């Protein structure tokens, strides 16, 4: 990879892309494949999943059996090699700190960002999700429709590889023919959950995940993705041949050295680098967009995390894709003449309407799943089946006590054991030991199921971030201060999740592990803990009430684009990554058109 330094990089580029995750990776790919010269700046360290992914190591080979620690909350093998909710030398402020509902900010300080460890769940927003205010009077409508974004969903699915099926369900869009790969077969526990959930009127259908269940068609897809561009087609065809289908070896959160799942580092960056148009500089923490005398962005300033040296690079356009809150931080800390409250903030909406996904979980023990014979159920690491939201009409009619809804992610099966020892089974075993204890562990292993609700948060005035006037990070950059508040729509939704999960467990003939939390304020996961933060620089149709236009282009600085989740005007129950990539591709197409017309 052509990684550059201050000495080896070019004096100027067509575009600077800040961030290397879903938005940054997609933007760099789209721009480079069409001939633009791009410098990518990544705050984290260089990371090579092909060399660093522990594909076949078992938990007993890891320190502490691979369990989570404060610096590795998802376990030793998690692909987030640098980063987390707490990053040394990079504090942030939460108001009020004592409130358990305050916001937790996840940062992945590594090339590829969160795409290295994410769940790969790739769901399209539906027509309702882009026009929620028109439907129920709450929140904001997006300035784009599903029909505007659907062609870009098609492109992203074909490029990264997404398995799933078309089910024709309400507000759960079908993909165009030829976009989806075949879904993996459900697990034994999935079959039972689907059977019993159906009795409750809850549909369980194949999930959509960015994992290759078969090799990509390197002959058919490149011409569809890059029509009229034979060089890009050849580069992509060669790269697609280098990706293998999933062998169901280890959890996707470790990364993937055979490139079977989507990571920016294995899907977007290799073909972009093969064009010869992409340079990457890591450990480059951008803190300011520089404005030229003509009122346009002329480049960015950053600090080299390894040396502490401050530097500046120049380009004809700047794309911010550092993750929603980090992008907002950069803009708030950019205060040239005329922008005392942050660059691109003439509306006063920068940092406002921060959102995360509503989350709540419950697990159960199912006697029907006890004493199953040994099975290899590593499968595709989850989401063989999921439940899309099924109560749209009830929510719209006000029968539920909350607007919008959630989908259900399922867990179960006899996968590779984690670091567990069989402890915590006393409520089932009565405290057995010796040979009886071993028999009990074998009996109960694989008989547990879990349910995670992932629901929509409606933007509100009380959830936002701003620059703290006092606290700075280790490099002297002002940090963010978060304010957070769930509304009753979200807390009631979390309580509904708990009741639904308990009903499914009961329908399976099982027992709830722990208790069903009926108080939604206690059932809901803290803001930021689902790691789906979006908003803060929302797009809109009016410069007075939004930060960017429908293409992610700043209203105030016409060569400054935002290509990450910061532009989200609402946060549907669908996981945001696929939409981030679709919007980033669309924004990059818009920027490329302006570069071709020599408008920049």
Over residues 260-282, mean pLDDT? 98
Question: How do residues 214-225 score in pLDDT, each as one tens digit?
Answer: 999 999 999 999
Residue 100 has pLDDT above 60, yes or no: no
Residue 404: C-alpha distances to residues 21, 261, 315, 383, 457 (Å): 28, 30, 42, 22, 8
What pLDDT band is residue 289 in, cutting at 50, 70 and 90? very high
| pLDDT for position 379 | 73
| pLDDT recorded at residue 524 | 97
Confidence of residue 421 (pLDDT cuts 50, 70, 90): low
**pLDDT of the residue at 97:** 67
Q: Confidence band (pLDDT; 50, 70, 90) for 65?
A: confident
The reported pLDDT for the residue numbered 419 is 57
Domain span at residue 243? 1-57+72-164+217-347+539-600
**Cα(51)–Cα(64) distance, integer angstroms:** 23
DSSP H or E segment with residue 51: helix 49-52
65 inside domain:
no
Identify whether 372 is part of a domain: no
77, pLDDT greater than 60: yes
CATH of the domain at 107: 3.50.50.60
Three-state secondary structure readout of 120-160: CECCCCCHHHHCHHHHHCCCCCCCCCHHHHHHHHHHHHHHH
- Is 449 within a domain? no
| Residues 309-347 pLDDT 10s | 999 999 999 999 999 999 999 999 999 999 999 999 999
Determine the pLDDT at residue 382.
76
In a domain? residue 276: yes
For position 377, what pLDDT does the model report?
81
pLDDT on residue 1: 54
pLDDT at 351: 98
Cα–Cα distance, 211 to 183 (Å, whole number): 9
Query: What pLDDT was estimated at residue 70?
Result: 83
Of 434-443, 471-480, 554-563, the range with the lowest mean pLDDT is 434-443
Polymer length of the chain: 600
Whole-number Å distance between alpha carbons of 599 and 316: 10
pLDDT computed for residue 420 by the predictor? 60
- pLDDT tens, 5-61? 999 999 999 999 999 999 999 999 999 999 999 999 999 999 999 999 988 888 888
Q: What is the mean pLDDT of residues 267-273?
A: 98
pLDDT over 70, % of the chain = 98
Query: What is the number of structural domains in the chain?
Result: 1
Flag whether 93 is in a domain.
Answer: yes
Residue 506 lies inside a defined structural domain of this protein: no
Instruction: Enumerate the β-bridge partners of residue 539.
Output: 548
Lowest mean pLDDT among 102-106, 344-348, 572-576: 102-106
Does residue 507 lie in a domain region?
Answer: no
Could you tell me the pLDDT band of residue 96, with boundaries at 50, 70 and 90? confident
Summarised one tens digit per residue, pLDDT across range 451-503 is 999 999 999 999 999 999 999 999 999 999 999 999 999 999 999 999 999 99
* Beta pairing class for 284-291 and 297-304: antiparallel
What is the average pLDDT value for the chain, to the nearest integer? Answer: 95
Entry pTM: 0.97
Asked, for residue 156, whether it belongs to a domain, the answer is: yes
Whole-Å CA distances, 69 to 78, 82, 109, 296 = 11, 13, 17, 45
pLDDT digits (tens, 9 = 90+) for 466-478: 999 999 999 999 9
Mean pLDDT within 376-399: 90
Counting residues of the chain whose pLDDT is more than 90, the rounded percentage is 90
């Amino acid at each position: 990879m052509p990684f550059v330094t201050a000495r080896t990089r070019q004096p100027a580029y067509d575009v600077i892309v800040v961030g290397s995750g879903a938005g940054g990776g997609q933007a760099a790919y789209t721009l480079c494949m069409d001939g633009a010269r791009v410098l990518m700046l990544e705050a984290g360290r260089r990371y090579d999943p092909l060399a660093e992914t522990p594909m076949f190591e078992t938990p007993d080979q890891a320190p502490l059996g691979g369990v989570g620690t404060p610096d590795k909350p998802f376990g030793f093998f998690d692909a987030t090699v640098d980063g987390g909710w707490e990053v040394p030398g990079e504090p942030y402020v939460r108001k009020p700190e004592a409130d358990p509902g305050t916001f937790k900010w996840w940062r992945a300080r590594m090339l590829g960002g969160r795409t290295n460890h994410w769940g790969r769940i790739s769901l399209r927003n539906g027509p309702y999700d882009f026009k929620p205010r028109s439907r129920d009077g709450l929140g904001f409508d997006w300035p784009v429709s599903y029909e505007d974004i659907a062609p870009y969903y098609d492109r992203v699915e074909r490029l990264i590889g997404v398995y799933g099926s078309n089910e024709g369900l309400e507000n759960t869009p079908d993909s165009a023919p030829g976009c989806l790969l075949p879904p993996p077969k459900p697990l034994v526990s999935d079959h039972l959950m689907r059977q019993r959930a159906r009795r409750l009127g809850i549909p369980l259908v194949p999930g959509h995940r960015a994992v290759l269940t078969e090799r990509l068609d390197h002959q058919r897809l490149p011409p569809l993705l890059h029509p009229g561009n034979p060089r890009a087609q050849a580069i992509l065809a060669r790269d697609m041949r280098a990706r293998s289908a999933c062998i169901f070896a280890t959890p996707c959160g470790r990364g993937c050295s055979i490139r079977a799942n989507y990571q920016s580092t294995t899907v977007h960056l290799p073909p972009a680098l093969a064009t010869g148009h992409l340079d990457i500089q890591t450990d480059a923490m951008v803190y300011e967009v520089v404005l030229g005398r003509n009122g346009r962005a002329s480049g960015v300033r950053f600090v080299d995390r390894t040396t502490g040296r401050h530097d500046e690079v120049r380009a004809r356009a700047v794309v911010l894709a550092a993750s929603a809150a980090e992008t907002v931080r950069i803009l708030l800390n950019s205060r040239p003449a005329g922008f005392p409250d942050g660059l691109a903030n003439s509306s006063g909406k920068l940092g406002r309407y921060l959102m995360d996904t509503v989350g709540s979980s419950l697990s159960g023990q199912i006697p029907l799943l006890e004493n199953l014979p040994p099975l290899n159920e590593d499968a595709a690491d989850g989401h063989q089946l999921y439940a899309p939201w099924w109560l749209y009409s009830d929510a719209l009619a006000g029968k539920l006590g909350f607007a919008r809804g959630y989908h259900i992610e399922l867990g179960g099966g006899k996968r590779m054991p984690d670091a567990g020892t069989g402890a915590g089974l006393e409520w089932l075993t009565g405290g057995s030991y010796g040979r009886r204890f071993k028999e009990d562990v074998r009996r109960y292993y694989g008989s547990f199921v879990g349910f995670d609700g992932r629901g929509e948060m409606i933007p509100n005035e009380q959830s936002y971030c701003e620059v703290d006037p006092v606290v700075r990070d280790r490099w002297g950059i002002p940090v963010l201060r978060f304010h957070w508040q769930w509304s009753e729509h979200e807390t009631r939704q979390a309580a509904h999740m708990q009741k639904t999960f308990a009903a499914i467990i009961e329908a399976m003939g099982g027992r709830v592990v722990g208790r069903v939390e009926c108080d939604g304020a206690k059932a809901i996961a803290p803001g930021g803990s689902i790691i789906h933060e979006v908003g803060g620089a929302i797009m809109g149709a009016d410069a007075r009430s939004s930060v960017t236009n429908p293409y992610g282009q700043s209203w105030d600085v016409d060569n400054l684009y935002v290509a990450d989740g910061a532009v989200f005007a609402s946060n549907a129950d669908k996981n945001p990554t696929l939409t981030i990539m679709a919007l980033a591709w669309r924004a990059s197409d818009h920027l490329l058109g302006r570069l071709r017309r020599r408008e920049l």
